[in-house]
Structure 1
Amino acid sequence: MINTQILRARLTDTRSVWAATIAIPLLLLAPAFWNGYPLLQWDTGGYLARWYEGYLVPSRSTVFGIYLHVGEDSSFWLNLGIQALATLWILQLTLRVLDLARPARLVAISLALIATTALPWIASMLLTDIFAGLSVLALFVLVMCGAKISTLEKWILFVFTAFSAATHSATLAVLLGLCCVGWAVRPWLGRPIPFAGLALGSLTIVAGAAMLLAANFALSGQLAWTPGGYGVAFGRMLQDGIVTQYLRDHCASQNLKLCPYRDELPPTADDFLWGHSMFDTLGRFQGLNDEMGFIAVRALAEYPAWQAEAALAATARQLSSVATGEGSSGWLPHTYGIIERYIPAQAARMHAARQQRWRLDFTAVNRIHVPVAFASMVLVVMLFSRGLWQRRRDDITLLAGTVTLALLGNAAICGVISGPHDRYGARIVWIATFVVLLAAAKALSARDADELGAP
């Protein structure tokens, strides 16, 4: 009788696992299914074109461009399938290393994330954003919980984290920052941060950088980093008024191309770099990159207090910029043009999608997503702070600390260099919601264990 009950329980668990394995990825891709085509964004076209154009473009990873090219014949559904399955795998792996692995729990937490965060929207999109949050979780498991996973899982995580780092410079910078903090605090924390795990995690950054350099060389013939750092930083300084002030202070003594336009500069970096501005007239990045770098470096040295104040303000604004859907509703002419030019067989399907018929509106979605994001950020900081106060080094405290640092690092890197954008916040803040749900599951599990053990 007991054996029959055990067999039935195992059969039920097996069915639950298979149900979760099928249902969760499908729900993660529900926005794309509803749309009738993978979701696109302003930047998608720049990544798609890397395979075809054979030269480097600012802030457009060739590694991610190659990844998209691999899925072209499937109308990019292969890419979305990889993104959904990677999400499911890392979610369940995180639950497993925290001793919370139950199919019902995985389903409940996944459904909560799908219903209240940007996760299904970024999983359904042809953009690097899905890898920003997943790579933080992957790095945590790889560094902190290596003893709880198999050798095969460890190496898959290694490759995944390295690939994620190579897809976007901001993601690489966040992961690098987390590793640096790990090395800095390890002398005080000791055993909770294994040396071998931290070394392996740090090597993912090296591997990601090598992957990007190799892809750049393969596609462009240049052994060089993806360009655009100075241009993006220049744009943020322009937006803060620093560039205008520098030109007014120095145009009398310095022969700069932008001097004739010093009183006509657009109000935002996006208007300057991607709108129809004097940036186009002066040759875009090819014509202005050196000058933008010159001004950015000189302005940093000349106005240190102003720069520090602007950086703090940008970081704070980025922390509060978490709405879903930026750059993916409305007209996306560059991305449309790239698909029409290089993948014309897909043009009809793309234009038939709901997104391209202006049926994508995130107003109602963000009435849920934004409050949940703010509450999650507050709660994850509280979880970390409580752990520090009580001098606890349990897995939830360490994960909450990792996510808190990742959120702060992401806000500082993206806000200070690129300027605050909702997209940069939405792509990573969902992991704070995930940690809060894990903490709640851990607390409920501990309570149930106490009740079972009570006389």
Structure 2
Amino acid sequence: MSITNDILRARATGSVWLWLAAVALPLLLIAPAFWNGYPLLQWDTGGYLARWYEGYLVPSRSTVFGLYLHMGESSSFWLNLAVQSLATLWLLQLTLRVLGLMQTFRFVAISLLLILSTALPWLASMLLTDIFAGLSVLSLFILVIGGYRISGIERSSLFAFTAFAAATHSATLGVLFGLCAAGWLVRPLLGKRIPLAGLAHGSLTIVAGGAMLVMANHALSGQWAWTPGGYGVAFGRMMQDGIVARYLRDHCPRESFKLCPYRNELPATADEFLWGNSMFNRLGRFEGMNDEMSYIVVHSLADYPAWQAGAALRAMGQQLLHVATGEGTNGWIPHTYGIIERYIPAQLAPMRAARQQHWDIDFDDVNWLHVPVALASMLALVALLGHALAIRRLDELTLLGATVTLALLGNAFICAVISGPHDRYGARMVWLATFVVLTALARAFGRDDPADDASAAA
């Protein structure tokens, strides 16, 4: 009788924890938005919001993500934040379950530490694609490594989620493609550690995501086309590295480029060139300059291969250190304000009343914690992988650590080489390293949930 009472008490305690987690964690994940009084906005948010209304393609703005935002407009976008919060918690607990480490207290503790010490709640509270970059790495990992351990409904949901995430941003699709390619390369060495069916299933999400993007582009613009703008963004990064100025100096005497008259007054940064008041505006922006920019990008790669390789490696290294939270989330985002005013006027009053629009958000204090945690997490992740290799332990947690490491490197390479180093690109991925480290610590030092122990005893 005593044992039965202990079991019942343990189960009751576990149920309380579970209910508290179910209610509190989704709200805590979007606490920054509640504090702000409105979902957080960013420089790029307006470009995505406008896709439904403008009906044409613009550089680097996914129509798929634009449609996703449009679905939440009637709720003042709180529906979108609810989706982002619940998807985050779903993938965290599903990852722990696939690793054999899902216990209520452990899940709650890890989630709370991520909320307190990383950019995760700020990403979940923002109307931007960035939250899906990190989550898609977890969903792809579960689909490939643990797909056989979850239900058919969960597998289908993971497939749809990963494909959607891939379609929200070309860099996210690139990272996922790189992870699948790495999986195929190492599978002959790892064998059953990477199930063939799971790898094939995961790889198909990339195809589905690409098809989803092209179909959405056609539905909104009438064009069977990929999202434009890749050459223009890459051109900006090469200009920032001095490669464009050198190319123009070498070729303007013989070739007539629109930029030749401006070759000695190019802006110092890609952001200033593409998004500031530069000659790029006077020359027709992407529509007027795309052919010239793509020509210079391709031919400068051939003319200066060593310079390009060195610049890419330096930018990648710098990107790994750019991990601060909040880049572009301030009061100066006039384009996004203009899009909301033009197309969603009902949102003007709550948007203007938010703290962000009154410049009341300061990320300096937040980053006193976030940046050290992010950098320490990446170092600890490398140490964990080194230890696993030293003792020849290749379990699923080690595979997750390797996956996250490759994702961080791939993200740093793609974003830095194409766009140049930005804190935003690092912050959207580096919380994954903290998650892996916390999970490893929980496995090493944590105890099982009493309710789970009681269930096992019963």
TM-score (normalised: structure 2): 0.97
- For 2:407 and 2:368, the matched residues in 1 are separated by 24
Partner of 1:387: 388
Shift of 1:348: 1.0
Shift of 1:365: 0.3
Partner of 1:331: 332
Matched, 1:83 2:84: yes
- For 2:284 and 2:440, the matched residues in 1 are separated by 52
Q: Secondary structure in 1 aligned to 2:330?
A: coil
Runs of 4+ with deviation above 4 angstroms: 445-449
Higher relative contact order (CA 8 A, sep 6+): 2
Matched, 1:30 2:31: yes
Q: Is the 8 A contact 1:21 1:88 kept in 2?
A: no
1:102 maps to amino acid: Q
Matched, 1:317 2:308: no
- For 1:131 and 1:38, the matched residues in 2 are separated by 16
- For 1:292 and 1:220, the matched residues in 2 are separated by 24
Partner of 1:235: 236
Q: Is the 8 A contact 1:384 1:398 kept in 2?
A: no
Partner of 1:269: 270
2:20 maps to amino acid: A
Q: Is the 8 A contact 2:64 2:216 kept in 1?
A: yes
* Map 1:13-412 → 2, pairs under 5 A: 13-412=14-413
Shift of 1:447: 10
1:168 maps to amino acid: H
- For 2:136 and 2:19, the matched residues in 1 are separated by 25
1:120-170 deviation per Cα after TM superposition (whole angstroms, max 9, x unaligned): 001000000000111101111110011221111111011001100000000
Partner of 2:424: 423
Identity over aligned pairs, percent: 71
- For 1:244 and 1:414, the matched residues in 2 are separated by 22
- For 2:23 and 2:449, the matched residues in 1 are separated by 29
Shift of 1:324: 0.3
RMSD over aligned Cα atoms: 1.4
Q: Is the 8 A contact 1:231 1:293 kept in 2?
A: yes
- For 2:50 and 2:423, the matched residues in 1 are separated by 25
Shift of 1:388: 2.1
1:230 maps to amino acid: Y
For structure 2, list consecutive stretches of 5 or more residues without a partner in the other structure: 454-458
1:207-244 deviation per Cα after TM superposition (whole angstroms, max 9, x unaligned): 10010001000000000000001001100000000000
- For 1:40 and 1:383, the matched residues in 2 are separated by 36
1:206 maps to amino acid: V
Q: Secondary structure in 2 aligned to 1:191?
A: helix
Shift of 1:445: 4.2
2:213 maps to amino acid: L
- For 1:108 and 1:431, the matched residues in 2 are separated by 16
- For 2:449 and 2:398, the matched residues in 1 are separated by 21
Shift of 1:8: 2.6
1:163-198 deviation per Cα after TM superposition (whole angstroms, max 9, x unaligned): 000000000000000000000000001010000000
Q: Is the 8 A contact 1:143 1:193 kept in 2?
A: yes
Q: Kindly tell me the number of residue pairs found equivalent between the two proteins.
A: 450
- For 2:306 and 2:27, the matched residues in 1 are separated by 50
1:319-351 deviation per Cα after TM superposition (whole angstroms, max 9, x unaligned): 000000000013110000000000001111101
- For 1:390 and 1:400, the matched residues in 2 are separated by 15
TM-score (normalised: structure 1): 0.97
- For 2:347 and 2:447, the matched residues in 1 are separated by 52
Q: Which moved more, 1:236-245 or 1:97-106?
A: 97-106
- For 2:5 and 2:41, the matched residues in 1 are separated by 51
For structure 1, list consecutive stretches of 5 or more residues without a partner in the other structure: none
- For 2:302 and 2:445, the matched residues in 1 are separated by 53
- For 1:316 and 1:170, the matched residues in 2 are separated by 17
Shift of 1:448: 11
- For 2:409 and 2:366, the matched residues in 1 are separated by 24
- For 2:209 and 2:10, the matched residues in 1 are separated by 43
- For 2:259 and 2:186, the matched residues in 1 are separated by 45
Q: Secondary structure in 1 aligned to 2:332?
A: coil
Shift of 1:286: 0.4
Q: CA 1:446–1:181 in structure 2 vs 1: closer, same or farther (change >3 Å)?
A: farther
Shift of 1:12: 2.2
